[in-house]
Structure 1
Amino acid sequence: MLSHALENGVLVLAVDDEPGPDEQNLAALISDLVHVHAPTPAVIMLGGEVPDPVIDAVVEAHRRCRQLDVLISVATSSAPARRVFQAHATADGGALVVHARVDTAISTAYATAD
C-alpha cells in the first residue's frame, strides 16, 4: 500500500495503484512518516489512476502536516488528479506542490532543502 525511502535527502512515499482496505489509514501513515522525517521534504508518488479516497487521504495528510513547515509535493501522471490537487492547494494557500513527473518533484524538493 505505502512504501517509503530516502532519496537524495528527500522522503519519497510511493502509494500503490490499489491501496486496498487500508486506504482509510493512508492519511495517518503519510502524516506519521512526514512527522518522523521532518524537516526533510517529502514527495508522494501516485500512479496514473488515482482514486478519490487516495486524493482525500493525501489532502488530509497534508493538512495534518501543515504546522511542520515541510515541503510536501505530489507527483502523478494523472492530469485529472493533478487538477484536483492544485485546486486543494489553491484553497489551502498553495502549500501543496503538484508535479507530473517524479524526477522533477524529487529534484525540486532536493533543491529547496539546501
Structure 2
Amino acid sequence: MLSHRREHDVLVLTVHEDPGIGGRAELAENITDFVRAFQPAPVVVVTDDAAATPATASAVLRAHRRCGDLNVLFSAVTHSASVRRLLEDNADSRGPGLVVHGRADVAVDTVCGAAA
C-alpha cells in the first residue's frame, strides 16, 4: 500500500492503493512513522491514481497534523483535482503548512529549493 524512496535528500512516500475508510488510521500511522524515522528530511507524499480518494486524503491530512510538531516540510502530490481541493481546504494551519502539487517532480524540486 505504501512505498518509500529517497530522492535528493527528500523522503518520497507513495500511496498505491485506496486504504478505504477502515484503513485510514493505519495509513496515517505508517506515514507518520516514516516521517519520524527520516526527520528532518522533507517529505513528499504521492498518491497514485488508484489511491486518489477521500479516504487517502483523510489519512494524509491526519499524518500532516501528527507531524506538525516535527517542523518538517510536508508536501502532497495527486493528479486528482478533487483530492487536491480536499487536501488544500482541510490542511492544518498550525506548524509548517501542507503544500499540494499536481506533479511529483515539481514537488521534490520545490522542497529541495525550500530546504536549501
**TM-score with structure 1 setting the length:** 0.90
Unpaired segments of 5 or more residues in structure 1?
Answer: none
What is the identity, as a one-letter code, of the residue corresponding to 2:87? Answer: F
Contact 1:86 1:98 in 2 (8 A): yes
Partner of 1:87: 89
TM-fit CA distance, 1:71? 0.5
Partner of 1:32: 33
For 1:106, what is the secondary structure of its paired residue? helix
What is the identity, as a one-letter code, of the residue corresponding to 1:72? Answer: F
Partner deviation per Cα, 1:38-93 (whole Å, 9 max, x = no partner):
1100000012351221111100000000001101000110000001111013x525
Alignment partners' CA distance in 2, 1:19 and 1:67: 25
What is the identity, as a one-letter code, of the residue corresponding to 1:12? Answer: V
What is the identity, as a one-letter code, of the residue corresponding to 2:109? Answer: S
What is the CA RMSD across the aligned residues, in angstroms? 1.8
Partner of 1:12: 12
Contact 2:54 2:86 in 1 (8 A): no
Q: How does 1:47-66 map to 2 (within 5 A)?
A: 47-49=48-50, 50-66=52-68
TM-fit CA distance, 1:22? 4.5
Identity %, equivalent residues:
41
Q: 2:79 aligned with 1:77, yes or no?
A: yes
For 1:13, what is the secondary structure of its paired residue? strand
Moved more, 23-32 or 60-69: 23-32
